């Protein structure tokens, strides 16, 4: 998957980078293949299956190629080939030499959790497999289209060193990464696209033109489908000079869901954290992190500042939970339910600056949640701004064991102390 190390860093803490990493919709590889094909971009022939029996029939549909296929577990994570399933079966990518073997491997993958370096110990459920023709390339390249924060424009990122971890390439040999700005309105020019093909070492004229067309069509998808990132790794060149996209990963802007209904209909909720899915239903922004201090704030900037101050005081945030500016008391209660669903949370830190979001509404939600959920873990609350005094009085009159603070650093220190 594309590495953020190729981009200007916008945050330094691990908690911040985790937040940045989950701001877009991802789709499965077999769905990516269909999208590429719909824009005239060539890929190995690939077909998905959801049962072992279907996998066998799909393999047979490849005709004289049915004994020379690849089967890939469809989960939204990198490192599938080196992963292992919860059943003990090793590897999410295998060569398939017959339809019977396709059925056998599919049975070992489907409805099992694939565990990779990117999934964590729980893994992700494999609900589909993809069967594809074996098309071994003689050369492998890397290409991606993404937004560059420095130039504030789309860029094409390419390298002759495809088929490997691009982050390692960027670290060991930065000169191997070629970045080409793209005009948002006009796209990638014929000359610029052709020049990139030359720079990454594609030799034949026909292959260069084919690669240039791929680059231009990738940008069309990027713009027309509101993508945040398109990564092809590898872009393969076959022995006859044919250029194929061998693997694809897409990210799409969540804010564009209203105009990208076809893309967002592909969302696989089984691949997403249930807390994040539940939060979205209430208009909450929730991202699970690795610590033990639950955070409930309003505003992304305040959320990151809160996580930073917790880290400075020696603590670790368990989540990023932003209730936004229009949350109701019921939504605040739901926010507590989501935070408390994580067993490792040992304290909760509520840090609210009342502007659009009134502090008394937050207080109402806090009290409601604490009573109905029979809250037993320490609750540290810092409320400032609109209706803050009224909110503090509501909390005081509730009789609940809540630790109120005015200072951010003091409140954070207490949250860390109570989480030990």
Active site residues: 142, 231
What is the full DSSP assignment across 277-314?
A: HHHHHTT-EEEE-SSSEEEEESSHHHHHHHHHHHHHTT
**Among 376, 379, 381, 408, residue whose Cα is nearest residue 392:** 381
Q: How many CA atoms lie within 13 Å of 387's alpha carbon, on the beta-carbon side?
A: 14
- Per DSSP (E only), the strands in 28-187 are 46-49, 69-73, 84-85, 93-96, 113-115, 124-125, 129-133, 139-148, 153-159, 178-181
Distant-in-sequence, close-in-space partners of 230: CB < 8 Å, separation ≥ 6? 144, 145, 146, 218, 221, 222, 248, 249, 250, 251
Distant-in-sequence, close-in-space partners of 55: CB < 8 Å, separation ≥ 6? 49, 71, 102, 103, 105, 106, 129, 131
**β-pairing, 69-73 with 129-133?**
antiparallel
Q: What share of the chain is helix, strand, coil (3-state, %, to 5)?
A: 40, 25, 35
Q: How far apart are CA 41 and CA 243, in angstroms?
A: 9
Contact by Cβ (8 Å): 293, 310: yes
For residue 118, what are its two tokens?
A: 């990117």
**β-pairing, 379-385 with 403-405?**
parallel
């Amino acid at each position: 998957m594309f590495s953020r190390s190729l981009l200007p860093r916008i945050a330094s803490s691990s908690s911040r980078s985790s937040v940045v990493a989950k701001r877009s919709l991802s789709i499965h590889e077999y769905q990516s293949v269909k999208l590429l094909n719909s824009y005239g971009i060539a890929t190995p022939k690939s077909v998905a299956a959801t049962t072992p029996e279907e996998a066998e029939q799909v393999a047979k549909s490849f005709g004289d190629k049915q004994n020379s296929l690849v089967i890939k577990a469809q989960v939204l994570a990198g490192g599938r080939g080196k992963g292992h399933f919860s059943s003990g079966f090793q590897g999410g990518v295998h060569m398939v030499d017959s339809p019977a073997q396709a059925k056998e491997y599919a049975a070992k993958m489907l409805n099992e959790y694939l565990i990779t370096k990117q999934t964590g110990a729980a893994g992700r459920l494999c609900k589909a497999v993809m069967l594809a023709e074996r098309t071994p390339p003689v050369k492998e390249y890397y290409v991606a289209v993404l937004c560059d924060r420095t130039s504030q424009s789309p860029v094409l990122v390419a390298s002759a060193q495809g088929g490997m971890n691009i982050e390692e390439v960027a670290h060991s040999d930065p000169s191997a990464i070629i970045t080409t700005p793209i005009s948002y309105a006009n796209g990638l020019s014929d000359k610029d696209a052709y020049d990139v093909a030359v720079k990454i070492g594609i030799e034949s004229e026909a292959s260069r033109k084919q690669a240039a067309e791929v680059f231009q069509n990738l940008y069309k998808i990027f713009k027309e489908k509101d993508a945040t990132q398109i990564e092809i790794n590898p872009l393969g060149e076959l022995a006859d000079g044919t250029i194929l996209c061998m693997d694809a990963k897409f990210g799409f802007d969540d804010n564009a869901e209203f105009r990208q209904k076809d893309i967002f209909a592909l969302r696989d909720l089984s691949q997403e954290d249930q807390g994040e899915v539940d939060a979205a239903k209430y208009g909450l922004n929730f991202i699970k992190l690795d610590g033990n201090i639950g955070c409930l704030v309003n505003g992304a900037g305040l959320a990151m500042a809160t996580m930073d101050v917790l880290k400075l005081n020696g603590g670790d945030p368990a989540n990023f939970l932003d209730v936004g500016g229009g949350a109701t008391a019921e939504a605040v209660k739901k926010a507590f339910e989501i935070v408390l669903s994580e067993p490792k949370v040992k304290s909760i830190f509520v840090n609210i600056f009342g502007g659009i979001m009134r502090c008394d509404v937050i207080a109402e939600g806090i009290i409601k949640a604490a009573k109905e959920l029979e809250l037993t873990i320490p609750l540290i609350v810092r409320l400032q701004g609109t209706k803050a005094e009224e909110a503090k009085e509501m909390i005081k009159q509730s009789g609940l064991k809540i630790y109120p603070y005015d200072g951010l650093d003091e409140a954070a220190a207490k949250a860390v102390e109570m989480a030990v």
